[in-house]
Amino acid sequence: MCNYNIENRVMYQRIILLFWTAILYSTIVYAIRSVHRPKDLCMPRIEVDWAGEKTKKNILYASHLESKQILKKFDWDFLQSRLLPPSPLPHRNDPTQQTSGIELDTLLNKLLDEIKEGKKEYTDVTVLKRLDFNRKEGYGLIVFKCKHHPFVLKLFIERPESFVNPLSKGFQPYFFFFMGGGINRHLMGFTRIKNLEYIRDALKNDPRWAAIIDTPRKWFWLPKNPQWLSIRAYNLDGISEQTIEIPAVYAIVADWIHSTKELSLRSRTSRTLGIKLSRILGNRIDPHMGNFILEDLSHKEEAVTDQMEEDNLLINPKKERIVLIDTEHFPSLVGLASPLEFDGYLSWYLQLMGKFAQEKFFRTKSYRKHIQTHPIPEFLAL
C-alpha cells in the first residue's frame, strides 16, 4: 500500500525547500522596496466598499488582477436559482429522515451571529477546516459540519478591507492570488455549483464511471438582510472602470458524506484513482487527494457493479463509492490558460509550482502591460 518512491520523495522535498526559499526571498525584497517608488498610474487596481459607499480606503494595486477572475465569477441569476429551498430535504443516507431548509437557514443565521460575537465554539456545528479563515478578524472561508444534521456548511465572509488584503487569509489564498489573476476563495465559491453541474453532465456521458463516482447535492445560502460588497475595477482589459456587486457573506450547504477511509498521497491506489478521475473529468476539477472521499455504502442496498476491481483500484464496490466533494472550477483557481497534462502527482505539483513561480517572479513588464489590454481567454469557461 505505501509503495512510495524514495527518489521521488527526496526530489519533491528539495523542490519544496527551494520553493519556500524563493518565497521568503521575494517577501524580503518586497519589504525593502522603496516607498518613494513612483506608482504606475495604469496599474490594474480594485477599490472595494460596502455597496452604496465610495470611501477610497480599501484599494489593491496588482499587475496580476484579471477581469475574468474579478468580475465574471459571480452570477446573480444563477445563485438565486440554486438557493437552499425552505422545503424538507431528505437525508442522503436515509431519505426517510429530513431536515427542512428553514431549519438550516435558522441555524446558519445563528452561527453567523456567534462568529460576529467572536465565539470559538458554536452551538450547532463543529469546525472541519479553518485554515483559510482569519480568526482574529472573523473573515475568510470556514467549513463546518452540523452536529445534528447530515450537512456540511462552507461559509464565506469578506469585508471591504479583507477583500483587498489577499495575504490575510492563510498561505493557500496567497498562492491562488498570484496564480489565478487576483482570485480569492470568496469569488471561487461562486463557481462551485456551476462546475458541479458540468461534472454531473460529464459523468452522465460515461455510465461506467457514473456508477461509481458521485457528488453531493449543493445549494447557495444568503443570510437575512445580506450586505453587499461593491468592487470597482480599474485598468482591466483596457477599460478604465468596471463595477460589480457581490454578497459579502454567503454559504454553500452540501450533503455530508459518510466516509470509510481517507485517500492518501502515500497510497498508490489513491494516486491512481485521483489521476484516473482527473482524466475523465479533465482539468475542470482539482485532483488534490483531499477532494475525494470514499463513501461508506455498507448500510445502503444499492446494486453496484464490480468494475473497479478490474481497474485494480482496490475499492470494494459493494461497500464504497468515490465522492467528489470539492467542485471549485480548477482552471479559475490556478489561472490555467491551456490544458495541464500529467501522469502522476509529482508532475502535477511541479507544474503548479512552476506556474506560481512564473506568475510571481518571472513576468516581464512588457508582458504585464500586454495582458492588461489583451486579456487571456477563459479556459473551460463556465
C-alpha span between 31 and 36 (Å, rounded): 13
- Given Mg ion, ligand ADP, none, residue 281, with its beta carbon under 5 to 8 Å by kind, binds none
**Residue of 326, 345, 352, 382 that binds Mg ion (CB under 5 A):** 326
By beta-carbon proximity to ligand ADP, the closer residue of 115 and 143 is: 143
In the complex, the smallest distance separating the C-beta of residue 97 from ligand ADP, rounded to whole angstroms, is: 17
Sequence-separated (6 or more) residues with CB below 8 Å from residue 363 = 63
In the complex, the smallest distance separating the C-beta of residue 290 from Mg ion, rounded to whole angstroms, is: 5
Helices (H) and strands (E) in the chain, counts: 14, 15
In the complex, the smallest distance separating the C-beta of residue 155 from ligand ADP, rounded to whole angstroms, is: 11
Residues 71 and 245 sit within 8 Å (Cβ to Cβ): no
- Given Mg ion, ligand ADP, none, residue 129, with its beta carbon under 5 to 8 Å by kind, binds ligand ADP
By beta-carbon proximity to Mg ion, the closer residue of 195 and 291 is: 291
In the complex, the smallest distance separating the C-beta of residue 152 from ligand ADP, rounded to whole angstroms, is: 4
Binding site for ligand ADP (CB under 6 A): 128-129, 141, 143, 152, 154, 216, 254-257, 290, 293, 325-326
In the complex, the smallest distance separating the C-beta of residue 257 from ligand ADP, rounded to whole angstroms, is: 4
Strands 228-236 and 239-247: antiparallel
- Given ligand ADP, Mg ion, none, residue 90, with its beta carbon under 5 to 8 Å by kind, binds none
- Given ligand ADP, Mg ion, none, residue 254, with its beta carbon under 5 to 8 Å by kind, binds ligand ADP
By beta-carbon proximity to ligand ADP, the closer residue of 215 and 372 is: 215
Footprint (CB under 5 A) of Mg ion, residues 288-317 = 291
Sequence-separated (6 or more) residues with CB below 8 Å from residue 132 = 140, 141, 142, 169, 170, 172, 173, 185
Residues 66 and 359 sit within 8 Å (Cβ to Cβ): no
Contact residues: Mg ion, CB under 5 A: 291, 326
